[in-house]
Chain A
């Protein structure tokens, strides 16, 4: 499985690719934003590890421009560690973030959580049509995409996973902890807003095609996908 790492820290790139190669991934690393964006647009990577502070083009800008054409999963590597950075990254469509300095095991867990579905697709037989239809929204579990009124939603991998999880459990409250563990492969930290950000992105994308609330917030507990009549 091929990963792209965009980080200006060459030392870290070397160490990380050594580590991830040992874990069975194939790593390509570049050290500036512009070059990284070009590679990401041309090739299909299983995942991109994207640093925020980069020469020529910063991480947010790379993500913004990439998202206009591609939904390749992105994990942001943030060094600033400020709240704003993380939320901004998630708003732009990052799948997850991991603050530097990170634990190698934690990074691996997150990379695996997000790349899992690629393996899933490969092992699945696409011809077996497996569709869920809930309240005007169709989730195609085989093709791993969701649509509203025949408009395919441009969801990132993480957003799709969350929507699929919610629609499989339509009408029931799904806790944020469960979503975090199932989709991001990690325990939800206190006051972590990542899930809320992803859900808000999903809501926005659904609202472009259909009116009415589909995903309801249960304060303090989680989210419910509202079943139609």
Chain B
């Protein structure tokens, strides 16, 4: 029962106390780790990547094409003694894509077309010493350089594709910071969520099964997939096999109880029957012995009934047959019998207060608890048994005798089955030694509490607290 109380405080409690949930711990830590890693990576890559340019070697037809263009420009300049700018404005070349001739000096560089303002060709200056490359920048893609040597100096030819979209990784690289961060956060959030859920789901299902199991539902099993081979999968399967074992044990114990009751009672029934037959024919002398046999058989019967009740109550296997009932009716029933019993023993009952309140309870159990406590009190009282009834936020019943009381160190042992004090409290009036155990268990089964204590002026007090349970 104690298991079920945890993590059961309302459906939104996880919002108030996320720290109480393993799910959030794993989730937060894993997420923070991912975010931290990404941040560190981004930070480090920002230190090294100074310019937003990347490149790869140029091969194949494009290189040949470019080499051919360079050669033809070179040849035309020498052959026709044209300037480079004339050459570039030649219709054959000007129809082509943007061609860029980078000079040693940036001012001397030439193009065959007007260059859009947002295109920064100076980015290419760093690549002049390289072999032919494809160079990716944010705005364009350049092929080159191919060196052109003309009388006016050395130039480097690039063919530039302005409309070309930069490749994906460059686009990622060039994304604004906030976007990078939010993508990282969202992606890691989803990942962490899936990860933690995958980890926590079997634990939650284990928890649910454990709560159900402790609540008495022996058929409860954790829903763990058979294909799960990790530690949690093993734990889940171990839990389920434990639950199987438990179910088997408890059902066999229950069967054993029923069997014992049946098997012991059959010979007892025959014994009583045979005694009855003997009584019909017996003479006066043996009649008293037969009565004695009958009495002992009854005592044995009572004992079997008590043992069965205690073990059923202790195993919590007895289903309460709850009914809405006025407590006063139950108490009156019990007090009527007790009054009679007390009178026979020349003792008196003093009843104070009332408990006229309707509660949802198992009347036979409550009655047997009160009966046992009263019988005990009557047995040990010198002259008076006082009963105090009270109901406020709960029901309080106090049953006190004015007898010798019980040594304090034995008070909490009184409710153990078959506990007997070695000295004063002996079996005189034929109790079974189970009365107080039954009372205690019956009250606990109703969510109540039984406390035994010694009065200052002598005598034992039994204090019952019962919660008021309505339907």
Contact = CB atoms under 8 A, between A and B. Distances in A.
Interface stretch (A37-45, A79-87, A165-173, A175-183): A79-87
A17 to B, nearest CB: 10
A100 B268 CA distance: 8
B362 to A, nearest CB: 9
A133 B262 CA distance: 47
A67 B333 CA distance: 35
Interface in A92-129: 100-105
Nearest to B364: A191
Interface in B329-370: 329, 333-334, 337, 363-364, 367
Interface residues of A, number: 23
Contacts of A105: 276
Given A100-B265, A101-B301, A191 B367 contact: yes
Nearest to B281: A22
A66 interface: no
B329 A80 contact: no
Interface string A5-44: 0000101100110110010000000000000000000000
B387 to A, nearest CB: 18
Given A19-B277, A100-B266, A191-B364, A81 B272 contact: no
A228 interface: no
Contacts of A80: 258, 261-262
A12 B321 CA distance: 32
B271 interface: yes
Given A22-B280, A79-B261, A101-B301, A12 B273 contact: yes
B235 interface: no
B305 interface: yes
A100 B333 contact: no
Please report whether the interface of chain B is mostly helix, strand, loop or mixed according to DSSP: helix
Contacts of A100: 265-266, 268-269
Contacts of A53: 262
Interface in B237-270: 258, 261-262, 265-266, 268-270
Contacts of A68: none
A220 B333 CA distance: 11
B271 A101 contact: yes
A211 interface: no
A80 B280 CA distance: 29
Contacts of A104: 272-273, 276-277
A111 to B, nearest CB: 14
Given A190-B367, A191-B364, A220-B329, A79 B266 contact: yes
Contacts of B321: 83-84
A12 B333 contact: no
Contacts of A12: 266, 269-270, 273
A76 to B, nearest CB: 14
Contact of A81 (B273, B294, B305, B333): B305
Given A19-B280, A102-B272, 6 more contacts: A12-B266, A15-B274, A22-B277, A84-B319, A100-B265, A101-B269
**Among all A-B residue pairs, the 10 with the closest Cβ atoms:** A104-B276, A101-B269, A15-B273, A101-B268, A100-B269, A79-B262, A11-B270, A190-B333, A191-B364, A79-B265
